[in-house]
Amino acid sequence: GESVGLHLPTLSVQEGDNSIINCAYSNSASDYFIWYKQESGKGPQFIIDIRSNMDKRQGQRVTVLLNKTVKHLSLQIAATQPGDSAVYFCAEKTPDKLVFGAGTILRVKS
Amino acid sequence: DAGITQSPRHKVTETGTPVTLRCHQTENHRYMYWYRQDPGHGLRLIHYSYGVKDTDKGEVSDGYSVSRSKTEDFLLTLESATSSQTSVYFCAISWGPGGEQYFGPGTRLTVT
């Protein structure tokens, strides 16, 4: 298995349920955020992004919510499927690079 | 992973030996990055490049050097590998600083 998952928080959901993955960021000046999905043995894949002038952005089955007051963003996955099982990272933009969170493991139970 | 390749994909080497990892892109992105990923640490930036021959250090650059002689290639060199450099290494590319990054498939390096 992928060793990157050791010591990460884990969210277990039943197939078909909605998933909510949370992320706290540190820099109140950050103006751009990205969610990535990383499947076992693969590189991270872009899921959805949001700019700080927005509170919510929707994609296909995914929604990102941004609360700048408490420096928190969340990723909501509707009707979670077995293929959604992965590690999910948030990233915040600093002036010249992205800073990544440690990630959350999502496990989908069939 | 389309447009970004890393080589080798797996490597086992001995302590004290030099190692070079290669990242190759076909997307003509200006920025390229090297990260390492370790259990519980997420992705940590080693070095990045903002153009040919233009590079800068990331948060964990000690023991690593990089070179970029062509837009499409970004090399990461461990001059003398140590066991603490056992990790999975990812290359990424982006159009601009701090923007959306696209990742390669990774290289698993084991230093014995």
What tens digit of pLDDT does each residue of B35-87 get?
Answer: 999 987 789 999 999 999 999 999 999 999 999 999 999 999 999 999 999 99
Contact A34 B102 (CB under 8 A): no
Q: Residue B2: its pLDDT value, please? A: 59
Measure Cα distances from A45 to A14, A36, A87, B50, B91 in Å.
23, 5, 10, 21, 12
| CATH code of the region A15-91 | 2.60.40.10
Do B105 and B21 meet the contact criterion of CB atoms below 8 Å apart? no
pLDDT value for A1: 34
Does the beta-carbon distance from A43 to B1 stay under 8 Å? yes
Structural domain containing residue B34: 4-104
Residue among A5, A8, A46 minimizing CB distance to B100? A46
Asked whether the beta carbons of A38 and A44 are under 8 A apart, the reply is yes
pLDDT band (50, 70, 90) for residue A3: very low
Best of A4, A26, A36 to mutate (most B CBs within 10 Å, chain B): A4
Using only C-alpha atoms, chain A has a radius of gyration, in whole angstroms, of 14
pLDDT, position A7: 67
Q: In angstroms, rounded to a whole number, what is the distance separating the alpha carbons of residues B33 and B95?
A: 12
Measured at the CA of B40, the angle between CA A52 and CA A78, to 5 degrees, comes to: 50
Q: Give the whole-angstrom CA distance, residue B39 versus residue B53.
A: 32
Listed in sequence order, the residues at least 6 apart from B81 whose beta carbon sits closer than 8 Å to its beta carbon are B13, B14, B15, B16, B17, B18, B19, B109, B111
CATH number at residue B60: 2.60.40.10
| Predicted local distance difference test score (pLDDT) of residue A98 | 87
B99 located within any domain = yes
| Mean per-residue pLDDT of chain B | 94
Residue B112 lies in a domain: no
Cβ distance B1 to A89 less than 8 Å, yes or no, reads no
Per the structure, the count of domains in chain B is 1
